[in-house]
Amino acid sequence: MRSKKFRSTLITFGMVVAAFIACQVMISTGAMTRSLKGQLVPICAYIVMAVSLNLTVGISGELSLGHAGFMSVGAFSGIVMAMWLSKGVGLANETVCLLLAILTGGVAAGIAGVLIGIPVLRLRGDYLAIVTLAFGEIIRNVINCLYISLDGSALHIAFNNPNVPGKLLVNGPAGATGVTKIATFGMGFALVLFTLFVVLNLIDSRSGRAIMAIRDNRIAAEAMGLNVTKYKMMAFVTSAVLAGMAGALYGLNFSTVAASKFKFDTSILVLVFVVLGGIGNIRGSIISATLLTILPELLRAFANYRMLIYAIVLILVMLATNNPTLRSLVQRIIPHKKGQKKEADEA
Partner 1 sequence: MTLFLSYLINGISLGSVYAIIALGYTMVYGIAKMLNFAHGDVIMIGAYVSFCAMQYLGLPALVSVVLAMVACTALGIVIEGLAYKPLRQAPSLAVLITAIGVSYFLQNSALLIWGSAPKSYPSVITLGSINLMDGQLVISGGTIVTVLANIVIMVALTLFTGRTKFGKAMRAVSEDKGAAELMGINVNATISMTFAIGSALAAVAGVLLCSAYPTLQPTTGSMPGIKAFTAAVFGGIGSIPGAMIGGVLLGVIEILGKAYVSTELGDALVFAVLILVLLVKPTGLLGKPVREKV
Residue ranges that bind partner 1, judged by CB under 8 A = 57, 63, 119, 122-124, 126-127, 129-131, 133-135, 137-138, 141-142, 144-145, 160, 172-173, 219, 264, 268, 271-272, 275-276, 279, 304-305, 307-308, 310-312, 314-315, 318-319, 321-324
Q: Are 66 and 208 in contact (CB under 8 A)?
A: no
The 10 Å CB-count burial string (b at 16+, else e) for 57-76 is: bbbbbbbbbbbbbbbbbbbb
User: Given its phi and psi angles, is residue 30 left (phi above 0), alpha (psi -120 to 50 degrees) or beta?
Assistant: left
Least Å distance between CB 285 and partner 1?
14
DSSP-derived 3-state class of residue 185: helix
Least Å distance between CB 7 and partner 1?
28
Q: Measured from the CB atom, is 14 or 173 closer to partner 1?
A: 173
Least Å distance between CB 312 and partner 1?
7
- CA pair distance 46, 40, nearest whole angstrom: 10
Q: Measured from the CB atom, is 111 or 142 closer to partner 1?
A: 142
- CA pair distance 244, 108, nearest whole angstrom: 7
Q: Measured from the CB atom, is 142 or 155 closer to partner 1?
A: 142
- CA pair distance 337, 327, nearest whole angstrom: 11
Least Å distance between CB 320 and partner 1?
10
- CA pair distance 62, 237, nearest whole angstrom: 13
Burial class (CB in 10 A: 0-12, 13-18, 19+), 205: exposed
According to DSSP, the β-strands at 167-171 and 154-159 are unpaired
Q: Measured from the CB atom, is 81 or 143 closer to partner 1?
A: 143
Q: Measured from the CB atom, is 111 or 314 closer to partner 1?
A: 314
Least Å distance between CB 58 and partner 1?
10
Q: Measured from the CB atom, is 123 or 228 closer to partner 1?
A: 123
Helix (H) or strand (E) holding 314: helix 306-321
Angle (nearest 5°) at CA 234 between 233 and 238: 115
Least Å distance between CB 169 and partner 1?
18
- CA pair distance 334, 64, nearest whole angstrom: 33
Q: Measured from the CB atom, is 224 or 311 closer to partner 1?
A: 311
Q: Measured from the CB atom, is 57 or 200 closer to partner 1?
A: 57
- CA pair distance 50, 274, nearest whole angstrom: 6
Residue-by-residue DSSP string for 205-224: SHHHHHHHHHHH-HHHHHHT
Least Å distance between CB 304 and partner 1?
6
Least Å distance between CB 57 and partner 1?
8
